[in-house]
Structure 1
Amino acid sequence: MAGGGEAVAQALAGGAPLPQALGAGGPCPVRFVPQAELPAGVAYEQFIFDTGSVPTRENLHDFFNGLCWLRFPLAKQRLNRLQAAQIAADGVRDVRGPVRDALTLFDENAALLQAPDALWTALLERDWQRLFISLRPLWAQARLVLFGHALLEKLVRPYKSITAHVLREPVPASLGSDMAAWDAWLCEHLSAPLLATKPFTPLPVLGVPGWWAANDDPAFYADAAVFRPKRAGTGA
């Protein structure tokens, strides 16, 4: 995201409106247009699917959404196609169904993790002491990549309880740090049946070693309001 983000930032510094600046970020399967181009009464996701255009407001939320399109073009396009398929099947309702809810949650707040098995086991058990203290050296072998644009926006003004929804499918170690390969892998894995199961596990991202200076102190993880234990007999 860094290269594309730098080009976008330069365009913004030169006075370009956000949709135009995002267009300077590199190849992308969609184009970015002013929010005013979205007709009244037309669903945002449907408009993107029909026109290949992303309505974009002049704010941080849409800035990060655009950057995510630049970094994960295949996965973002896959999410949009799944949204459009749900709209075609069910129409636009006042209350979203489980698949559209999960699609939106993924788009806004998801993260991807590539890590040793021991870290995954501790994360899924929400054994925060083991995850972040006992196994702390293993984080040097892990990669946590944020996908959700709302999640990125929150981190502009960070606070301790910011929590990502980590996809419960480990990114293969064979992909290394190649984000194009991550994008292709994710695109292949995203499906309506998978997302309907809400295949996520929570991760307070500022607990990740190296992400926040305060977490160098083990007492940081004693806050049960943030680092909540897994409830017995449930997945929650």
Structure 2
Amino acid sequence: MNGAQALATIDWQRPWLAPLALLGQGAAQHVQAGASVADALNLLIEAGKAPDPGVRFVPQAALPPGMAYEQFICAESRVPTRDNLHDFFNGLVWLHYPATKRRFNRLQAQVIAAEGVGARRGPLRDALTLFDENGAVLLAPPELHAALAARQWRSLCVELRPLWRQARLLLLGHALLEKLVLPRKPITAHVYKAQVAIDCVVNVDHGLATDMAPEWLAAKPFCPLPVLGVPGWWPENENFCFYDDSLVFRGVRPMRP
């Protein structure tokens, strides 16, 4: 499936795409008119339809052989971009959360400069990659955060369901967004546990970028959340038996002796 065909499968009415839909539909229209994904993203910036993220998007071939992707972005302020859904969503996240993406990139590049690429990423790069691919931020009353941290799914999604009217779950992971083009019950976000409360949507990008200290990130401060369990996001979860699936809605693992 080429880029234009893949983009045609996106249902922009899905609730998890609402924050990205305006720019996403604009970029998709450029691709369907014949532009590459990289050019489509750049066109939004150049037309003033998207804030300048401080990078430009270039074809994957611009990445020199043997050079790490993260190092290239940090050095050149250019993001190698393929014509597929994965890189399309990566570009959209750059347009919406540029400070956070730059923070990810600089931390990755710093570790690579100090340690090389290596066979293993190490704890910090592993955590950065996990969040970059599958991360989310939950803006919600403290009761929801507590239930999520304890993986008390009935409390989180059934008993406390009215509180979700005050909540927003924002998806930043581009692999997560790609997977949700074809929604499946097991698809899980890794919700970032910020050290300081991020209390509104307009503060998310700046708040994340300033909150993500290397030592904190290396400990993987994330809570898993099956995305289709979010109240209002999937019709099937109106039947509360949806949450009885222990393969998807798992409890906290017991500590090893």
TM, length-normalised to structure 2: 0.87
Q: Which runs of 4+ in 1 moved over 6 A?
A: none
What residue identity is the alignment partner of 1:16?
Answer: A
Specify which of 133, 138, 154 is matched with residue 163 of structure 2: 138
What residue identity is the alignment partner of 1:189?
Answer: D
Query: What residue number does 1:95 align with?
Result: 120
Query: What residue number does 1:45 align with?
Result: 70
CA distance in 1 between partners of 2:164 and 2:147 (Å) = 12
Query: 5+ unaligned residues in a row in structure 2: which ranges?
Result: 1-19, 45-49
Specify which of 176, 191, 198 is matched with residue 172 of structure 1: 198
What residue identity is the alignment partner of 1:140?
Answer: R
CA distance in 2 between partners of 1:66 and 1:171 (Å) = 27
CA-based RMSD: 1.3
Matched, 1:224 2:255: no
Query: What residue number does 2:237 align with?
Result: 215
Query: What residue number does 2:206 align with?
Result: 184
Q: Within 5 Å, give how 1:2-41 maps onto structure 2.
A: 2-25=21-44, 26=50, 27-41=52-66
Matched, 1:57 2:57: no
- Count residues with an aligned counterpart: 230
Deviations 1:16-54 (A, max 9, x none): 111100112322211100001111111000111111111
Identity %: 55
Is the 8 Å Cα contact of residues 111 and 164 (structure 1) preserved in structure 2? yes
Deviation at 1:3? 2.9
For the residue of structure 2 that corresponds to 1:92, the secondary structure is: coil
Matched, 1:206 2:228: yes
Query: What residue number does 1:79 align with?
Result: 104
Is the 8 Å Cα contact of residues 7 and 24 (structure 1) preserved in structure 2? no
Mean Cα deviation higher: 24-33 or 112-121: 24-33
